[in-house]
């Protein structure tokens, strides 16, 4: 370029900067870092390294992928864009970037050049970066890296494809190879573009560094920002409530309740009400454990009693104790897991599946015993802790045997009534406010029904009733049985994602009910109903969350990007 042409270029650049770089899509919520550099400089590799290192704290987004998503949404994909010769809409693309930035709940790292790569190369877009880095490389190194990558693709990874193309269309294939080599390995073009990028990104205030030094600097920024954020949010309960308010309401069926010292701090329901009776599934187990320990207090059981005492004839019956069952160390073959999660034996699964009634039939205790005896135990009793649903159904049957009343009646009399859990009941009872599970399309799913002894997953309760259990379980136990209870597997230590804080909790997750698609065709089991509960013992804060449809987004979501994960993290830090 001559001096004159460079002056014209800068005039264009200033115009485009005014039009796009100054556009704001609203106040962004989180830290944004942009890492760019010349083609072939290793931006994507650096982004992947950061993602692997800080998966709990950041989202890494390749700008090329973001642009492709926009083209797909706005034009129907690149093929349609080129075929129909659509005009590029820069303002819509900038708005798309703005919306993507603003919806992030975690720190965001963009990797890639933030301009259009095919035309108007001096048209840059605002990625709202707080920190901006450019990978500094000389043109010769870029040239070698880009060409090595192309050679590797053509002559190693895709060698057979290239050879077949040449055999089918020698002239056309060689032209395509030649065009690609010119585009990617044109030495003078690479030098010119590197010069332009260096100039433009310096003008935009980017820090020019080696890839290694950028990694170090970004690591410092992320660590400092994340620790500062979590400490700030964990400072008081008001911050926790603010996070709870961010739960997505669109399409969600469920509810959330947060209490402290018997006082409601936050309560919200989506397509349900405070009277809704939720199918809490495995969150039944801590209540089941309480029932067993009450029987011990009543002198009807001993923690060391073995199964053979109750004439339950299964492998290791003379070794498996009540404590083994309670603490997931029995080693029993898990019938519930086999039938519901694997559809085995399929003949029995098909027999209990009632599609026209959106439910399953209950299993009798004798069917449990028959299946257990046809399969090998998972392990020796007391050898290790392996989660087992069937163990808790056997405990439920023992409640029935030693109490002289149905398990459901015993729990109502000895737990629900004393704790005032008046809106709690069981799968086997007629309900007026029971919520249904919904599969995609708001179609009612298949309700798993458990027999009267099914203390693995049989209870249905309002969130307020479950809160009463969390606040009152200890009042029902003696000093001795309370010590036993609080050593069971549902009492755990929670550690925050940044590993800076830990706290003791009583916690459980429950999941159940499935789609008709799964019932009829198999595949991966996915719970339609999910419940999470945690009592943060030191702070006496209870968190109970339930969802009962599969289309919920960012509600009861355990991945590192969710508001739910951030909520739990900050409860840990109270």
Q: Is 201 exposed, middle or buried (0-12, 13-18, 19+ CB in 10 A)?
A: buried
| Token pair in block for residue 503 | 């706290």
Strand partners, 511: 530
pLDDT of residue 470: 96
Q: Report which of residues 119 and 333 the model is more confident about.
A: 333
Q: What is the pTM of this model?
A: 0.61
**For residue 37, what pLDDT is reported?**
85
Task: Judge residue 493's burial from the number of C-beta atoms within 10 Å of its C-beta, 0-12 exposed, 13-18 middle, 19 or more buried.
Answer: exposed
In DSSP notation, 414-476 reads IIIHHHT-TT-EETTS--SSBPPPEETTTEE-BBP---TT-TTT-EEE-HHHHHHHHHHGGGG
% of residues, the chain, pLDDT over 70: 83
3-class SS string, 196-252: HHHHHHHHCCCEEECHHHHHHHHHHHHHHHHHHHHHHHCCCHHHHHHHHCCCCCCCC
Q: Which domains does the chain have, with CATH numbers?
A: 3-232 (3.40.50), 240-572 (3.40.710.10)
The answer to whether 555 and 564 are in contact (CB under 8 A) is yes
As beta bridge partners, residue 505 has 492, 536
Question: What is the token pair recorded at 214?
Answer: 């950028």
Question: pLDDT of 357-398, one tens digit each?
Answer: 888 888 899 999 999 999 999 999 999 999 999 999 999 999
Residues in the chain: 574
- Which of the four pLDDT bands, split at 50, 70 and 90, describes residue 155? low
Average pLDDT (486-499) is: 86
Using DSSP's 3-state secondary structure scheme, residue 92 falls into: helix
* Res. 223: pLDDT tops 60: yes
Close Cβ partners of 7 (under 8 Å, ≥ 6 residues apart)? none
Those residues whose C-beta lies under 8 Å from the C-beta of residue 291, and which sit 6 or more positions away, are 399, 407, 410, 411, 414, 415, 455
- Output the average pLDDT for the chain: 82
**188-216 mean pLDDT:** 83
Task: Give the count of beta carbons closer than 10 Å to the beta carbon of residue 148.
Answer: 12
Say if strands 107-111 and 58-62 run parallel, antiparallel, or are unpaired: parallel
The set of residues, in sequence order, having a beta carbon less than 8 Å from that of 34 and lying 6+ positions away, is 109, 110, 111, 114, 127, 129, 131, 132, 133, 206
What dihedral angle (degrees, nearest 10) is formed by the CA atoms of 359, 282, 279, 413? 110
Q: Please give the Cα distance from 463 to 258 (Å, whole number).
A: 10
Phi and psi dihedrals of 443, rounded to 5?
Answer: -90, 135
């Amino acid at each position: 370029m001559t001096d004159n042409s460079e002056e014209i270029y800068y005039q264009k650049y200033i115009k485009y900067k005014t039009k796009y770089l100054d556009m704001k899509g609203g106040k962004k919520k989180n830290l944004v870092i942009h890492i760019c550099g010349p083609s072939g400089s290793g931006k994507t590799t650096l982004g992947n390294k950061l993602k692997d290192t800080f998966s709990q704290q950041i989202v890494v987004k390749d700008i090329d992928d973001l642009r492709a998503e926009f083209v797909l949404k706005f034009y129907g994909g690149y093929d349609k864009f080129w075929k129909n010769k659509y005009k590029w809409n820069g303002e819509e693309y900038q708005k798309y970037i703005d919306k993507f930035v603003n919806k992030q709940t975690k720190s965001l790292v963009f990797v890639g050049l933030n301009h259009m790569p095919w035309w108007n190369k001096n048209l840059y877009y605002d990625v709202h970066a707080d920190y901006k880095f450019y990978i500094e490389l000389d043109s010769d190194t870029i040239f070698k890296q880009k060409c090595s990558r192309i050679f590797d693709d053509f002559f190693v990874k895709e060698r057979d494809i290239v050879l077949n193309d040449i055999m089918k269309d020698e002239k056309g294939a060689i032209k395509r190879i030649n065009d690609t080599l010119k585009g990617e390995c044109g030495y003078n073009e690479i030098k010119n573009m590197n010069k332009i990028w260096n100039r433009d990104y310096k003008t935009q205030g980017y820090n020019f560094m080696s890839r290694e030094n950028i990694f170090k600097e970004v690591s410092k920024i992320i660590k400092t920002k994340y620790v500062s954020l979590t400490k700030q949010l964990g400072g008081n309960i008001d911050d926790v409530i603010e996070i709870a308010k961010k739960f997505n309401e669109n399409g969600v069926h469920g509810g959330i309740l947060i209490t402290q010292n018997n006082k409601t701090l936050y309560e919200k329901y989506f397509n349900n009400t405070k009277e809704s009776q939720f199918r809490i599934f495995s969150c039944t187990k801590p209540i089941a454990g309480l029932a067993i320990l009450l029987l011990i207090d009543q002198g009807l059981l001993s923690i060391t009693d073995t199964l053979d005492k109750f004439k339950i004839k299964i492998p290791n019956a003379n070794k498996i104790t009540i404590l083994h069952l309670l603490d997931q160390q029995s080693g029993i073959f898990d019938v519930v897991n086999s039938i519901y999660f694997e559809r085995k034996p399929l003949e029995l699964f098909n027999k209990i599946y009632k599609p026209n009634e959106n439910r399953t039939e209950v299993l009798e205790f004798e069917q449990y015993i028959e299946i257990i005896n046809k399969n090998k135990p998972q392990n020796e009793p007391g050898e290790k802790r392996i989660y087992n649903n069937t163990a808790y159904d056997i405990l439920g049957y023992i409640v029935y045997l030693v109490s002289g009343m149905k398990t459901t009646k015993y729990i109502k009399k000895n737990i629900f009534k004393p704790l005032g859990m008046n809106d709690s009941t069981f799968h086997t009872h007629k309900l007026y406010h029971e919520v249904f599970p919904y599969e995609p399309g708001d179609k009612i799913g298949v309700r798993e029904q458990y027999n009267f002894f099914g203390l693995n997953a049989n209870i249905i309760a309002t969130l307020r009733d479950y809160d009463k259990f969390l606040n009152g379980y200890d009042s029902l136990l003696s000093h001795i049985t309370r010590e036993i209870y609080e050593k069971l597997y549902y009492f755990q230590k929670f550690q925050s994602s940044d590993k800076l804080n830990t706290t003791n909790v009583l916690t459980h997750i429950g999941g159940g009910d499935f789609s008709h698609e799964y019932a009829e065709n198999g595949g991966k089991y996915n719970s339609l109903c999910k419940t999470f509960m945690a009592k943060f013992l030191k702070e006496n804060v209870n968190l109970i969350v339930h969802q009962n449809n599969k289309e919920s987004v960012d509600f009861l979501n355990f991945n590192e990007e969710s508001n739910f994960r951030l909520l739990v993290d900050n409860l840990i830090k109270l």
